[in-house]
A = this chain, B = another copy of it.
Amino acid sequence: MRQELLFSALRGVEGSDSLPFAIFQELAVQIVEGRLLPGHEVNSAELARRFTTSRTPVREALLLLEREGLVVIPPRRRPFVSPVALGQVREIYEIRGSLYGLVSELLVGRATDTEIKALGQWQDLLERDAREGDVDGYFWHNVGFRNAEARLSRNGELQRRLSSLGLQMHRFRHLSLSLPGRLLNSVADHERLVRAYADRDAPLAAAVSRSLVMRGLRAIENTGLS
């Protein structure tokens, strides 16, 4: 499944074969896809029954979900899927904008010409998706593009933190891209970005990358989130 892209930088932190991580991944996808709605209760006892294990690994999985901000665990109370408040969305976008600005800046100084060319190929895919109005395809190719950028920044810590933010963002993606005209706008930004990479213009790349993220926030704000 394409969802595996979301965990790319998290894998290896905890053995991906471990039982807790498998449970975490399963639940993370469900939350992020909207099948488990905010406020929905995820108590360890029931999950243990569902996965036919004891509560210990489930508990660990819940802690992982908490660290990714997908679940809230109040002490002595049942854990539940974390709510998505507009304020928090804005906070996350601000961080993400700053960090992707950094990615672009680092990338300009560290990526080879061929690597930058490879980014251009992602750009072609995005353009095609936008032309055909394939919102879903656009989204996933965009994730691929961003992952590729993060990798080229040659900063593993940065990659890991962005991946964590990406999980959160996935939760409200449908709000961000489904607006008319949004895709074409976005694809134009991407083009400017790739050109800045090719020109090795670090400040411009950083600025464009950041504004690209912030435009996504603007789009969400206009839909009027609950």
* Contact surface of A with B, Cβ cutoff 8 Å: 13-15, 17-18, 56, 60, 63, 66-67, 73, 75, 88, 91-92, 94-95, 98-99, 101-102, 106, 155-158, 161
Q: A94 and B18: CB pair below 8 A?
A: no
Interface of A, secondary structure class, is helix
Q: Which of A91, A99, A101, A155 has the most CB of B within 10 A?
A: A91
Cross-chain contact of A91 among B15, B17, B98, B155 (Cβ < 8 A): B155
Q: Number of copies of this chain in the oligomer?
A: 2
Please indicate the chain B residues that have their CB under 8 angstroms from the CB of A88 in the complex: 156-157
Please indicate the chain B residues that have their CB under 8 angstroms from the CB of A66 in the complex: 13
Q: B94 and A155: CB pair below 8 A?
A: yes
Q: B67 and A94: CB pair below 8 A?
A: no
Rounded to whole angstroms, the CA-CA distance of A73 and B98 in the bound complex is 30
Rounded to whole angstroms, the CA-CA distance of A13 and B75 in the bound complex is 10
Cross-chain contact of A99 among B56, B75, B98 (Cβ < 8 A): B98
Q: Which of A17, A92, A101, A155 has the most CB of B within 10 A?
A: A155
Cross-chain contact of A106 among B56, B63, B94 (Cβ < 8 A): B94
Rounded to whole angstroms, the CA-CA distance of A155 and B97 in the bound complex is 14
Please indicate the chain B residues that have their CB under 8 angstroms from the CB of A94 in the complex: 102, 106, 155, 158
Please indicate the chain B residues that have their CB under 8 angstroms from the CB of A18 in the complex: 75
Q: B15 and A95: CB pair below 8 A?
A: no
